[in-house]
């Protein structure tokens, strides 16, 4: 049983390297039936109790008696308020200066769910994981509640009045504000900018610094050198036919990713007229790389050379010259190795042919020169106005964030700055390692930190000021294209916080309220529009945003032409050198990336985000050092092995994650972990709660902010358990062998060419041959609706917004690291990630798997108490209060999508100090107690709501009226839900597509969810034997 | 007597097959009375020996540990068993199958060997049957306590209820419940059936009214007549194949 025996027919797909290699470790893992050798060490409840749960426990759920509750009904019900009826308000969220328009769903005065605002240009209805998790942050009991005064080690609760007085005194002692500085986090708020203007006019000596630990400053510098002014590129991926992303994680780490995903996915439906081709050249392996048709891993330095080389190549093409021809690929076994130099030539030609429909995007980590180069490349393609727009960058005069924080530190050290107001952010934690803010801050005469949490920075400052969450304060945001969006409060201030606007007003002693200031800003901006201010404002609040009256994109500015060197040759040389010297003596190149879960560390206390698996590594609760396969092999380390990263006498220890596709000699470190003052979830050193993950900011200096060379990696003797969810849900070697046989059938792909070849008669469902299927049971009949879902694997880019959206909608608990290690995570959707081909540069596929709502559901047949039953509308209903928890259904589920409450996972929110968290629960969804099975319901509460509304209004439910939480959040619109009984519905059309197939249809479970095969659009010049690969999955 | 001497066998042998003679049931110095005294004396003695107290004490402590752990399980959740997804049943199903296996060994001895006329089984028969009964009790325990909400485990049984809910008769787990309950019932009945003559002996020897009453009740009016024995043997034989399908 434990011996896998002869390897099953080689499938082209694999999930992890260990599976591919079938290592002893992997076998051992299978043999143990526990992914990572977890022993039963009794219950480690302590850590678990510290976790942020998700859902409520209506008082008494867990016990056998009901607590006494006081209910105070309204004597006079407020106008328009219907108890229990959800209301929606438009608002907006600003994340490190990038806004996203949102619609908040509020029930009885509390926001419980955020959706994208379809009117907002950076959302178009989609959201990312951070917007989804914002409601949990709002109700986080760890958020600061009191104004705190710190003096040395003494900490005392103070008041806003006390702070106002102290600030006033300091401002008076600083003539014209000299000696006072403000360090703000990036914000797009026009009102903040206006108040800043007012304040600096009043206090001309006031100095203003802006700092973000990760920003697009290199883009600003690059466009500055190309165009003479900093500009903000805005991609129109929906218009593009050929896209090259140079270290640009368009769909993951980059600002605007929600919009980019939407636009890109729109071109990936297999229509030959508009399907784009995406090339990605990157060092890390991101979901953008996973979405690429061709991907080339290069080290960060080589990518900069690639940009220059590409510019030279395009110039040659523009001059009518030919590029040297050579075979772009070389086949070795069943994998295709890409030679970078011909790859560059092929990309250049493809881009050149696409012309204005071509687009090159560069990531913020590339040096400014590369950005200038990319700007010139785009100019050569003449794509301005079609696939690329430039907007003026905000605050064009500001220094880069690194310079700003260095200047600030120098001024603090020299005594020029005696008082500092920090508006948001956490610079003491995330400033470059050579900027000693933690030493300088306590020495200041006056220092105050405004923040959601009393974090590392607050602990260095004289004052901690609780910040109002954006959902409880007035504000505004400005998208790059000039779209104004108001931030509306949806709830009274919960934690005695104030917004940054109010702090500025305190410093300048301005009159008025945040709403007045915001309205004044809006009135100023729309003064020329001739519409009544009142109605315009009302309309803006209702729509959520107000588009600019005229196009604000920068008209043609020609990029300065750079003198031509032999950039092509330089790139070829660099590639050759790297190839001839696979293990350079000067160590590895370390690349810093924002994390997919906690971003730069600001979301470290969010249980939803900590437990959200990274889309590529699939790790939860922590950040590994990500290495490529060859590099890891050379260093002699495997998954979970602790290594020590050393540079300049600084060292951090962290576990390794081997991720296929990371460039050689490159290590990727995710920022934002190792917080020691985040909260009860993210780590709180003074209460003995260890930090989650490892802090890599100490390795980051202002000179090497994105990329650091010469990092040495020492492999330590210890291996830690890996909180990676990828290998969960597989059982033993029999299961593995059987899965290996089926994998090509679980995920299906087709090339654009084959899909559109009338001779090929492509139909994804014919990839698996099976005898005619006969049912053991009488098949259920249906009257009325037949709900169904489709997931387009071609559009799904793997971002995982659906996972967190589902968690927020359905009150799904957070289980914590120990439980994840035991393979007990509760997410109703898992986004499986598969690799195929060369382990140094594999192709990847993401596949979201939720309950498939089978017609002949295996789970229903085996439940002894009939707790899971079929509804007349074809839903596989779960009756929680009938479930006794035999778990037979989950054993019999071929998709392994059922989740069991092994413990009472909502216990934490019943503790008095955590009761605030109960407000986040969706009252329409049962909070499951322990011992109960749960799974995706197709958001049955949304279906019921729509049915009730439609019945009350005496009409039929329109197609698209019901949207599941995952569908609504999906930035790429990969998920479609609707009524299969209606042949015209969107979901019926998707199900009828040639690309549609049901996973494991051969089991005759008749799933209601269908997948649409992923379309790949390879460049024929680069395919090699790619066509033959396509048929491997054919049974 | 010469004829007798031709077929004389040693008193230690009761395995001869001379159809003219009945093999002695008791060999050696003992006779029926001493055997009965000895066996019944174990039950009738006023208090068990010290060794019994020690053995019982150890078993009792383990049982308390077991109940303590089951209590912990009930209060905390079935997660304490370390099951996960997709291994939802590991520990409980292993225990269930283990105890069912022990029970089957008892069934093998008491039923199958009986049907195959393996008389040597009689020496360990009662022991094996008791083992079956208690093993089935242990086995049945695990499906019952493995469920997530153990206080509702009775929902697995078809009983009339105000919800109008019946269990799902398609579920193999429901048939597990039926199988284990039937197996347990049959094993208990068979165990009891075999004890009836012995209970009657104890009744006849009983000196206290309580013992007389209880043994009298459970011996079902056994008189030891030939007719009693005839019916008893037929019943025993016809009952015997019953536990087999369940095992």
Summarised one tens digit per residue, pLDDT across range A212-244 is: 999 889 999 999 998 888 999 999 999 999 999
- Mean pLDDT of the A257-275 span: 92
Residues of B in contact with A822 (CB under 8 A): 82, 84
Q: Tell if the CB–CB gap between B82 and A891 is shorter than 8 Å.
A: no
Altogether, the residues listed in chain A come to a count of 1035
pLDDT for residue A325: 63
Q: Which residue out of A48, A725, A733, A885 would a mutagenesis test of the B interface target, given it has the greatest number of B Cβ atoms within 10 Å? A: A885
| Residue A784 pLDDT grade (very low, low, confident, very high; cuts 50, 70, 90) | confident
Per-residue pLDDT tens over the stretch A360-388:
999 999 999 999 999 999 999 999 889 99
A907 in B contact zone (CB under 8 Å): no
Residues of A in contact with B86 (CB under 8 A): 729-731, 890-891, 896
| Residue B15 pLDDT grade (very low, low, confident, very high; cuts 50, 70, 90) | low
Residues of B in contact with A896 (CB under 8 A): 85-86
Per-residue H/E/C for A388-426: EEEEECCCCCCCCHHHHHHHHHHHHHHCCCCEEEEECCC
| Residue A5 pLDDT grade (very low, low, confident, very high; cuts 50, 70, 90) | very low
In the predicted structure, residue A1028 carries a pLDDT above the cut 50? no
Q: Which residue out of B68, B81, B171 would a mutagenesis test of the A interface target, given it has the greatest number of A Cβ atoms within 10 Å? A: B171
Q: Tell if the CB–CB gap between B172 and A902 is shorter than 8 Å.
A: no
In the predicted structure, residue A100 carries a pLDDT above the cut 80? yes
Residues of A in contact with B149 (CB under 8 A): 883-885, 929-932
The share of chain B scoring above pLDDT 90, in percent, equals 36
Instruction: Tell me which residue in B146, B173, B177 faces A862 most closely, judged by beta carbons.
Output: B173
Per-residue pLDDT tens over the stretch B197-215:
999 999 999 888 999 999 9
A28-37, A563-572, B202-211: range with lowest mean pLDDT: A28-37
Residues of B in contact with A29 (CB under 8 A): none
Show which residues on chain B lie within 8 Å of chain A, measured between beta carbons: 76-90, 146-150, 152-153, 155-156, 165-168, 170-174, 177
Instruction: Tell me which residue in A34, A731, A861 faces B170 most closely, judged by beta carbons.
Output: A861
Q: Tell if the CB–CB gap between B90 and A33 is shorter than 8 Å.
A: yes
CA dist., res. A92 & res. A755, Å (int) = 41
Taking CA atoms, what residue in A is nearest to B171? Answer: A862
CA dist., res. A286 & res. A249, Å (int) = 6
Per-residue pLDDT tens over the stretch B229-246:
999 988 888 877 766 665
| Residue whose structure tokens are 């004052």 | A463
ipTM above 0.90, yes or no: no
Q: Which residue out of B72, B74, B81, B84 would a mutagenesis test of the A interface target, given it has the greatest number of A Cβ atoms within 10 Å? A: B84
pLDDT for residue A563: 59
In the predicted structure, residue A956 carries a pLDDT above the cut 70? yes
| Residue A84 pLDDT grade (very low, low, confident, very high; cuts 50, 70, 90) | confident
Taking CA atoms, what residue in B is nearest to A826? Answer: B85
pLDDT for residue A390: 92
Per-residue pLDDT tens over the stretch A618-670:
999 999 999 999 999 999 888 899 999 998 888 899 999 999 999 989 999 99
Residues of B in contact with A33 (CB under 8 A): 87, 90
pLDDT for residue B13: 64
Taking CA atoms, what residue in B is nearest to A819? Answer: B84
- Mean pLDDT of the A879-890 span: 93
pLDDT for residue A67: 63
CA dist., res. A13 & res. A846, Å (int) = 12
Which is more confidently placed, A533 or A719? A719
Q: Tell if the CB–CB gap between A822 and B152 is shorter than 8 Å.
A: no
Taking CA atoms, what residue in A is nearest to B173? Answer: A864
| Residue A333 pLDDT grade (very low, low, confident, very high; cuts 50, 70, 90) | very low
Per-residue H/E/C for A63-88: CCCCCCCCCCCCCCCCCCCCCCCEEE
A221 in B contact zone (CB under 8 Å): no
Q: Which residue out of A821, A886, A901 would a mutagenesis test of the B interface target, given it has the greatest number of B Cβ atoms within 10 Å? A: A886
Q: Tell if the CB–CB gap between B172 and A885 is shorter than 8 Å.
A: no
Q: Whole-model pTM? A: 0.87
- Mean pLDDT of the A975-1004 span: 92
Instruction: Tell me which residue in B84, B90, B166 faces A824 most closely, judged by beta carbons.
Output: B84
Q: Tell if the CB–CB gap between A890 and B173 is shorter than 8 Å.
A: no
DSSP letter at A869?
E
In the predicted structure, residue A425 carries a pLDDT above the cut 60? yes
pLDDT for residue B30: 79
pLDDT for residue A948: 93
CA dist., res. A193 & res. A188, Å (int) = 8
First to last CA, chain B: 52
In the predicted structure, residue A492 carries a pLDDT above the cut 70? yes
| Residue A573 pLDDT grade (very low, low, confident, very high; cuts 50, 70, 90) | confident
- Mean pLDDT of the A833-849 span: 89
In the predicted structure, residue A1033 carries a pLDDT above the cut 50? no
| Residue B4 pLDDT grade (very low, low, confident, very high; cuts 50, 70, 90) | very low
Altogether, the residues listed in chain B come to a count of 247
Give buried/exposed letters for A968-977 (b at 16+ CB in 10 A, else e).
Answer: bbbbbbbbbb
| Residue A745 pLDDT grade (very low, low, confident, very high; cuts 50, 70, 90) | confident
Residues within 8 A of B (CB atoms), A 777-816 only: 777
CA dist., res. A398 & res. A815, Å (int) = 44
Instruction: Tell me which residue in A38, A864, A884 faces B149 most closely, judged by beta carbons.
Output: A884
pLDDT for residue B176: 86
pLDDT for residue A61: 44
Given the DSSP bridges, would you call strands A446-451 and A419-423 parallel, antiparallel or unpaired? Answer: parallel
| Residue B125 pLDDT grade (very low, low, confident, very high; cuts 50, 70, 90) | confident
The share of chain B scoring above pLDDT 70, in percent, equals 91
| Residue A23 pLDDT grade (very low, low, confident, very high; cuts 50, 70, 90) | low
Q: Tell if the CB–CB gap between B165 and A882 is shorter than 8 Å.
A: yes
| Residue A286 pLDDT grade (very low, low, confident, very high; cuts 50, 70, 90) | very high
Q: Which residues pair with A641 in a beta bridge?
A: A719
- Mean pLDDT of the A106-126 span: 92
| Residue B182 pLDDT grade (very low, low, confident, very high; cuts 50, 70, 90) | confident
> Does residue A526 contact residue A536 with C-beta atoms inside 8 Å?
yes
Instruction: Tell me which residue in A731, A882, A884 faces B147 most closely, judged by beta carbons.
Output: A884
| Residue A1016 pLDDT grade (very low, low, confident, very high; cuts 50, 70, 90) | very high
In the predicted structure, residue A782 carries a pLDDT above the cut 80? no
Half-sphere exposure (Cβ direction) of B48: Cα atoms closer than 13 Å: 9
A775 in B contact zone (CB under 8 Å): no
| Residue A889 pLDDT grade (very low, low, confident, very high; cuts 50, 70, 90) | very high
Per-residue pLDDT tens over the stretch A681-737:
999 998 999 999 999 999 999 888 899 988 999 999 899 998 888 765 554 566 667
Q: Tell if the CB–CB gap between A931 and B149 is shorter than 8 Å.
A: yes
A228 Cβ neighbours under 8 A, 6+ residues apart? A557, A560
In the predicted structure, residue A913 carries a pLDDT above the cut 90? no
The share of chain A scoring above pLDDT 90, in percent, equals 61
How many beta-carbon contacts under 8 Å exist across A and B? Answer: 120
Tell me how close the Cα of B244 comes to any Cα of chain A, in angstroms: 25
Q: Which residue out of B83, B86, B153 would a mutagenesis test of the A interface target, given it has the greatest number of A Cβ atoms within 10 Å? A: B86
Residues of A in contact with B170 (CB under 8 A): 777, 861-862
Measured in whole angstroms, the distance separating CA A524 from the mean position of its chain's CA atoms is: 35
Q: What is the mean pLDDT of chain B?
A: 85
């Amino acid at each position: 049983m434990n011996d896998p025996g002869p390897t099953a027919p080689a499938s082209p797909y694999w999930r992890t390297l260990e599976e591919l290699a079938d290592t002893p470790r992997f076998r051992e893992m299978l043999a143990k039936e526990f992914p990572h050798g977890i022993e039963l060490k009794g219950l480690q409840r302590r850590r678990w109790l510290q976790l942020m749960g998700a859902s409520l426990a209506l008082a008494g759920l867990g016990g056998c008696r009901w607590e006494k509750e006081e209910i105070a009904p309204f004597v006079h019900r407020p106008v328009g308020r219907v108890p229990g009826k959800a209301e929606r308000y438009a608002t907006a969220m600003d994340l490190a200066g990038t806004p996203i328009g949102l619609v908040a769903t509020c029930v009885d005065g509390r926001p419980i769910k955020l959706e994208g605002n379809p009117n907002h240009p950076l959302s178009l209805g989609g959201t990312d994981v951070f917007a989804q998790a914002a409601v949990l942050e709002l109700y986080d009991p760890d958020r600061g509640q009191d104004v705190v005064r710190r003096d040395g080690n003494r900490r005392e609760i103070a008041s806003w009045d006390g702070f106002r007085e102290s600030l006033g005194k300091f401002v008076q002692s600083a003539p014209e504000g000299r000696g006072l500085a403000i360090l703000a986090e990036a914000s797009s708020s026009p009102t903040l900018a206006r108040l800043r203007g007012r304040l600096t006019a009043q206090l001309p000596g006031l100095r203003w610094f802006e700092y973000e630990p990760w920003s697009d400053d290199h883009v600003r510098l690059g466009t500055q050198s190309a165009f003479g002014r900093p500009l903000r590129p805005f991609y129109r991926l929906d218009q593009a036919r050929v896209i090259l992303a140079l270290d640009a994680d368009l769909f993951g780490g980059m600002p605007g990713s929600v919009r980019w995903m939407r636009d890109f996915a729109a071109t990936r439906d297999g229509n030959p007229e508009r399907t784009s081709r995406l090339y990605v050249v990157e060092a890390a392996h991101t979901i953008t790389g996973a979405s690429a048709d061709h991907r080339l891993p290069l080290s960060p330095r080589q990518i900069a050379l690639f940009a220059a080389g590409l510019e030279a190549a395009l110039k040659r093409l523009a001059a009518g010259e030919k590029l040297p021809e050579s075979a772009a690929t070389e086949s070795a076994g069943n994998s295709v190795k890409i030679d970078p130099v011909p790859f560059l030539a092929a990309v250049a030609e493809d881009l050149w042919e696409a012309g204005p429909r071509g687009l090159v995007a560069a990531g913020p980590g590339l040096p400014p020169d590369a950005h200038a180069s990319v700007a010139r490349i785009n100019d050569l393609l003449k794509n301005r106005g079609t696939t690329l727009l430039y907007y003026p960058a905000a605050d064009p005069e500001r220094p880069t964030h690194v310079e700003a924080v260095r200047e600030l530190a120098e001024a603090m050290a020299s005594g020029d700055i005696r008082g500092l107001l920090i508006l948001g952010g956490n610079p003491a934690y995330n400033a470059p390692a050579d900027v000693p803010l933690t030493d300088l801050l306590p020495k200041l005469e006056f220092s105050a930190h405004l923040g959601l949490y009393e974090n590392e920075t607050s602990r260095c400052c004289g004052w901690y000021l609780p910040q109002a969450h954006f959902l409880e304060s007035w504000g505004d945001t400005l998208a790059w294209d000039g779209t104004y969006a108001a931030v509306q409060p949806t709830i009274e201030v919960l934690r005695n916080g104030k917004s940054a606007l109010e702090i500025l007003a305190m410093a300048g002693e301005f009159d008025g309220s945040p709403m007045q200031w915001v309205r004044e800003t809006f009135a100023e901006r729309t003064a020329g529009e001739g519409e009544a201010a009142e109605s315009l404002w009302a309309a803006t609040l209702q729509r959520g945003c107000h588009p600019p009256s005229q196009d604000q994109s920068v008209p043609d500015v020609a990029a300065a032409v750079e003198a031509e060197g032999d950039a092509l040759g330089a790139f070829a040389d660099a590639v050759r050198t790297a190839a001839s010297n696979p293990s350079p003596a000067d160590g590895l190149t370390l690349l810093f990336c924002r994390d997919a879960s906690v971003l730069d560390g600001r979301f470290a206390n969010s249980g939803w985000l900590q437990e959200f698996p990274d889309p590529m590594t699939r790790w939860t609760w922590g950040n590994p050092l990500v290495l490529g396969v060859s590099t890891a092999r050379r260093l002699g380390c495997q998954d979970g092995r602790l290594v020590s990263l050393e540079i300049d006498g600084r060292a951090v220890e962290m576990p390794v994650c081997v991720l296929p596709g990371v460039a050689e000699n490159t290590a990727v470190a995710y920022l934002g972990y190792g917080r020691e003052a985040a909260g009860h979830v993210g780590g709180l050193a003074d209460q003995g709660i260890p930090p989650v993950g490892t802090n890599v900011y100490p390795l980051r200096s202002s000179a090497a902010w994105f990329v650091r060379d010469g990092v040495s990696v020492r492999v330590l003797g210890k291996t830690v358990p890996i909180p990676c969810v990828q290998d969960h849900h597989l059982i033993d070697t029999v299961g593995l062998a059987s899965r290996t046989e089926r994998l090509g059938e679980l995920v299906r792909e087709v090339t654009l060419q084959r899909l559109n070849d009338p001779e090929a008669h492509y139909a994804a469902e014919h990839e698996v041959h099976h005898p005619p299927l006969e049912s053991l049971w009488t098949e259920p009949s249906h009257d009325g609706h037949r709900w169904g879902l489709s997931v387009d694997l071609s559009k799904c880019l793997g971002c995982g917004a659906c996972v967190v959206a589902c968690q927020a909608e359905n009150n799904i608990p957070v289980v914590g690291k120990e439980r994840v290690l035991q393979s007990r995570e509760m997410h109703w959707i898992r986004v499986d990630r598969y690799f195929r081909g060369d382990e140094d540069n594999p192709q990847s596929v993401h596949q979201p798997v939720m309950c498939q709502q089978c017609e002949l559901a295996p789970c229903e047949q085996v439940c002894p108490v009939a707790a899971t039953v079929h509804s007349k509308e074809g839903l596989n209903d779960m009756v929680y209060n009938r479930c006794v928890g035999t778990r037979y259904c989950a054993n019999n589920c071929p998709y392994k999508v059922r989740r069991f409450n092994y413990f009472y996972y909502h216990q934490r929110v019943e503790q008095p100090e955590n009761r605030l968290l109960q407000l986040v629960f969706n009252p329409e969804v049962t909070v499951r107690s322990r011992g109960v099975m749960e799974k995706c319901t197709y958001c049955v509460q949304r279906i019921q709501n729509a049915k009730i509304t439609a019945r009350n209004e005496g009409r039929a439910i329109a197609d698209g009226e019901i949207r599941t939480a995952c569908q609504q959040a999906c930035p790429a619109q990969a998920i479609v839900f609707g009524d299969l009984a209606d042949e015209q519905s969107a979901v019926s059309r998707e199900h009828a597509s040639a690309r549609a197939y049901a996973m494991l249809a051969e089991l005759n479970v008749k799933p209601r969810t269908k997948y649409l095969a992923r379309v790949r659009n390879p460049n024929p010049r680069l395919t090699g034997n790619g066509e033959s690969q396509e048929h491997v999955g054919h049974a | 007597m010469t004829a007798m001497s031709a077929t004389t066998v040693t008193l230690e042998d009761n395995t001869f097959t001379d159809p003219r003679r009945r093999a002695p049931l008791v060999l050696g110095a003992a006779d029926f009375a001493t055997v009965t005294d000895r066996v019944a004396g174990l039950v009738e003695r006023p208090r068990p020996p010290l060794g019994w107290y020690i053995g019982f004490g150890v078993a009792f402590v383990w049982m308390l540990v077991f109940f303590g752990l089951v209590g912990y399980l009930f209060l905390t959740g079935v997660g304490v068993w370390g099951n996960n997804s997709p291994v939802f049943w590991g520990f409980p199903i292993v225990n269930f199958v283990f105890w069912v296996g022990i029970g089957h060994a008892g069934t093998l001895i008491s039923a199958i060997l009986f049907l195959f006329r393996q008389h040597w089984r009689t020496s360990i028969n009662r022991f094996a049957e008791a083992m079956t009964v208690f093993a089935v009790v242990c086995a049945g325990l695990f499906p019952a306590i493995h469920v997530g909400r153990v206080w509702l485990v009775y929902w697995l049984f078809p009983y009339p209820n105000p919800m109008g809910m019946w269990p799902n008769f398609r579920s193999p787990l429901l048939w597990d419940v039926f199988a284990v309950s039937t197996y347990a019932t049959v094993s208990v009945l068979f165990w009891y059936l075999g004890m009836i003559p012995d209970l009657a002996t104890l009744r006849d020897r009983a000196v206290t009214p309580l013992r007389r009453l209880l043994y009298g009740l459970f011996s079902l009016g056994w008189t030891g007549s030939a007719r009693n024995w005839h019916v008893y043997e037929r019943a025993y034989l016809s009952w015997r194949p019953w536990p087999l399908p369940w095992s």
